[in-house]
Structure 1
Amino acid sequence: MDIIKTAPKKSIYRRYWYVPIIILVVALTATVANRFRSISYLVQSDDLLTDTVVMDDFSVTTRGYGRLVAQDVFWVGAESAGTVSNISVRPGDHVKPGDILVKLINPQLLQELKEAELEVAARQADLRANQLIRESELLDLMTEAANAEIDHQTAKMELDAKTRLVERGLEIISRLEYEQTQLAVQKFLQRWQMQEQRVIQREQSIQAIEESEEARLSQTRNELDRIREQVAKLTVRAGVEGIVQELDLALGQKIDRDNNITRIAQPDQLVAQVKIQELQVNDIQLGMPATVDTRTSKIPGVVSRIDPTVVDGSVLVEIELQGELPAGIRPDLNIEATISVSNVPNTLIVRRPASARPQSADTVYRLSSGGGVAERVNVRFGQASTSYIEVVEGLLPGDRIVVSDTSGFSTHERILVR
């Protein structure tokens, strides 16, 4: 006989085992959806640069790049126009006073020199010839004056003799003859005096003429000396000892007078000139210590000058080098300078975000503990160096933030990081 077995009834819990799982999934989904409902941007972690906020002593430094320059730079210019015929030095050469730098040629100037030399020689010859002529003329006048004096003396002697005869009462000579002798004495005296005056006037005239001719000769000689000096300056020489900085010349190049040919710097008197960002230069003061890195050595120094002008967002800062300069240091050497602005003990610091500015409020993206979400938070920064910045408010030690450029998603409060 067949016995019908009745199947046992299944437990309600076994029958609906999947319901709790569905409820859990729904709950988790709701939680995740609620958590990320404000996330509307996705960023790859490889595209982000992050750093962790730490509590540490903060050495505030500012970095700039520039070059070494000489304190004393002497420009050497062309004092005569000409064409470059020889270049004796190159940039970097060491020169001493009198060393030849460049030779110029100027055919026109050389022709002027020859003409000036001939002009001086001709004037000297003319002056000598005219002197001889005037000396001869003066001798003739002096001879006439001497003859007039002799005639006067002769007539006077005759008058004296006749006067004695007349005084004795001797009527050997007539009164007419006596008076004629008196007139002759007066005539010869006047003639003598006139000849003497002519001699004096001629001597004065000769002196004036010779002074005039000497002045013209001196003027011609001065012109000759000037041309000779210009010819000599066709050879351009160093006026001081130092290093040739630049010499942008070529053979055959025409140079005008007063054109700069080169500049010479004295290598033992160098300063560092670096460019500092305008926002960072406000913290720099004169006398602040600095370190100049030449890639081969580091030289201590102090800030000695801050240029008042801003050029392309940068300010030129000059650093005076201290101590003996290492070997191989020369002008125009590229350098990196680090200026020590201040030291802040036991403060929060982080690598400087791309948009961070010192002493300002800003927003940064702070990563969650797992690093999957970055949330925008408000922060206030303090002092800053080239690479790091002080955190005054908004972050805690251990917080990890995005320090790379966030302008691509800066409008989003939260971003998802994968």
Structure 2
Amino acid sequence: MDVIKPPEPTKRWRRWMWGLVVCVFGVSVWLIGPSDQITRLGRHDVLIATVEYGPLSIGVDSFGVLRSAEQHLITADSDAVVKQIYLKAGASVAVGEVIATLDNPDLSLAVAQAQQALQSSDMALQQLILNQQREFLSEQTALDKLTGDLATARLRLQAEQGLAEKGIISHLVFAQTQSRVANLVRQMQSAQQRLDQLKKLHASAQQLASQRIAIRRQELARSRARLAALTITAPVAGILERMPLAVGQRLTVGDETALIGSQTQLLAELRVPQSQVQKVLPGQTVTVRIRDQQVTGTVGRIDPVVAENSVKVEVALPQTLPKAARPMLSIDASITVAELDQALYIRRPANVREQQAAQLYRVREDGATELKTVQFGALAGRYVVIEQGAEKNQRWIISDLSNLAQQGVQVALN
């Protein structure tokens, strides 16, 4: 009987080897691909913008917060310990509303001591007035006595004058009477001067005593004010912008206890990049976006200090603001630094900077795309000026396709 031999294994392995070579070659061709490969993108996957021509405002974009144009800082009047906190930062406050209470037992003692000192000064003034009245009455009595003696002496002199002329009395007696009258006149003048000086001395002493009383009253008022200041209240209505207290915290004189800002008079505090701030000038128009609304303000002050590569710019806002406006609210704004009568511009493509060139894909009328180099100029908020490389009404892909553009890959839109 014939025996069937199996096929030789060498021929089978040879066929497998040739098949493997063909597969490797096909994969290599697929990986390498043609030099003009095309990437297909859906139209809904990219952003397409049209080149426009017309007037354009050049602006500097920035961000910041709303600040109160009027702020009231409350500080500690004395050393104290925080006893209780009623309101925290961000709360609205009315005039006289209690924010927190402090504790300092020494202030009550200071008030009592000031009251006692004031009472002592009042009593000292009353005693001084009584003593002065006694001294004045004593001097006045002496003056009255001299006045009476002088009147009597003058009557005697008048009577003796006729007798001396008739020789009834000697001229010596008449001369003695004349001398007595002159002496009494001098004594009365001295007494009157002493009385006038006493009046001035009394007035000066009373003035000094009154000044001491005024000082004691001021000390008492100050002690009472410091005691009352242990209850921290809002001096104005507004919003509590900052309140850095904690229960049990120890305060010293001058430490901040609260910062209250006005809710009606606000300004915008913007952070402008250092590279852009040289374009900003006082008086320029600013469009401030507060939530979903916009208001127009004016650049008021530019801070000369650079912090974290940005400069603080204060913007004055109108009196009437959206209801959402409140201190510490984050905002963004655009500062108009120039007005172009006619310019070629487009919505700002991704990763495009001013005064630089970039490669973008232009969308032709037939839907095909072509890679072109476009030179850009100044930024204008959401838009950017085109210096060259594009024309009016042309459509361009503004999505970030920089990786494809660097490789020179063609893009097709589905």
- Out of 395, 400, 403, the position equivalent to 1:403 is 400
Task: Please tell me whether residue 380 in structure 1 is matched to residue 350 in structure 2.
Answer: no
Are 2:124 and 1:126 equivalent residues in the alignment? yes
**Mean alpha-carbon deviation: is it higher for 341-350 or for 55-64?**
341-350
The correspondence for 1:300, drawn from 283, 295, 304, is 295
- For the pair 1:57 / 2:55, whether they are aligned, the reply is no
Q: Which of 310, 328, 332 matches 2:328?
A: 332
| C-alpha distance after superposition, 1:307-326 (max 9, x if no partner) | 36554344545555568433
How far does residue 191 in structure 1 lie from its aligned partner after superposition? 3.9
**1:261 matched to which residue of 2?**
257
- Deviation string, structure 1 residues 353-411 (Cα, Å, up to 9, x no partner): 43x3212235x4879x9xxxxx99754223445666555545796776883676xx99x
1:271: how far off?
Answer: 3.5
Superposition map of 1:185-334 within 5 A: 186-187=179-180, 189-191=182-184, 193-229=186-222, 231-233=224-226, 234-235=228-229, 236-278=232-274, 288=285, 290=287, 292-294=289-291, 297-302=292-297, 304-305=299-300, 307=302, 311-316=307-312, 324-334=320-330
Letter in 2 for 1:212: A
Take 2:300 and 2:151, find their aligned partners in 1: how far apart are those partners?
94
How far 1:182 sits from its partner (Å)? 4.1
**Matched residue, 1:359:** 355
Question: Which protein shows a greater Rg?
Answer: 1
Equivalenced residues, count: 365
Cα deviation code 1:273-315 (max 9, x no counterpart) = 4434455667778655635141xx3233245457365543445
| 8 Å Cα contact 2:129-2:206 kept in structure 1 | no
The amino acid across from 1:290 in the alignment is T
Cα distance in 1 for residues equivalent to 2:263 and 2:125: 55
CA distance in structure 2 between the partners assigned to 1:293 and 1:214 by the alignment: 62
Contact 1:82 1:104 (C-alpha < 8 Å) held by counterparts: no
Equivalent-residue separation in structure 2 for 1:198 and 1:271 (angstroms): 75
What is the CA distance between 1:228 and its match in structure 2? 0.8
Residue equivalent to 1:3? none
Distance, in Å, in 1 between the alignment partners of 2:309 and 2:46 is 27
- Tell whether the 8 Å contact from 1:52 to 1:350 is kept in structure 2 after alignment: no
What amino acid is the match of 2:70? Answer: V
CA shift, 1:214, in A, is 2.0
Structure 1 residues 352 and 79: CA distance shift in structure 2, 3 A:
same
8 Å contact 1:141–1:198 — kept in the other structure?
A: yes
Unmatched tracts of structure 2, length 5 or more = 1-21, 365-369
Structure 1, unmatched stretches of 5+, are: 1-21, 370-374
- Aligned mates of 1:283, 1:148 — CA distance in 2: 94
Task: Give TM-score, length-normalised by structure 1.
Answer: 0.64
Q: Does 1:74 align with 2:74?
A: no
- The Cα shift of 1:74 comes to 1.9
Q: Which moved more, 1:334-343 or 1:243-252?
A: 334-343
Instruction: Report if the CA contact (8 A) 1:272-1:292 is conserved.
Output: no
Q: Is the 8 A contact 2:153 2:180 kept in 1?
A: no
Distance 1:35 1:228 in 2: 92
Q: For the residues of structure 2 that align with 1:347 and 1:158, how far apart are their CA atoms? A: 124
User: 2:3: which partner in 1?
Assistant: none
CA distance in structure 2 between the partners assigned to 1:318 and 1:62 by the alignment: 14
Q: Report SS of the residue matched to 2:130.
A: helix
* Identity across matched positions, percent: 19
Alpha-carbon spacing, 1:118–1:184, altered in 2? closer, same or farther (3 Å): farther
Q: Hey, what's the Cα distance between the residues in 2 that align with 1:205 and 1:382?
A: 92
In the TM superposition, what is the alpha-carbon distance from 1:128 to its structure 2 partner?
2.7
CA contact (8 A) 1:275 1:314 kept: yes
